[in-house]
Amino acid sequence: MEPQISTRQLQMLFQSAAELGAIAALVSTGKLKPYLKKAEAFRLYGRKNIEHWIDAGLITPRKDGDQSACWRIDRLEAEALDKANYILKFL
C-alpha cells in the first residue's frame, strides 16, 4: 500500500521548500544573519517550540564564549523545524 498525498499537502511541501530555499539564499548572500539570538528565536517561533526542540536535540544552541556569552540558534534549523510542524498539522 503506497501512501497517498493530497494536492494540498503537495502544495504545502513545495511552498515550504521554496521558502527554505529563499532563506538559505538570503543567508548565503549575507542579507540575513545565519544565527538568531535565543530571545529572537523565542519571539519568532515561540518559547515553547524552541525549548522543546532544544530538549529533544533537534536544534543545538551555540555559545560563543564563556559565562556571559549569549546563545545562538541556527536560523535554517529553526525554520526547517517550524515548516515541518506546519506541514504535520495538516497531514
For residue range 18-44, what is the model confidence (pLDDT) as tens digits? 999 999 999 999 999 999 998 999 999
47-55 and 75-89 helices, crossing angle to 10°? 100
Residue with cell 541556527: 74
For residue range 46-75, what is the model confidence (pLDDT) as tens digits? 999 999 999 999 999 988 777 667 889 999
pTM of the model: 0.83
C-alpha cell at 22: 529563499
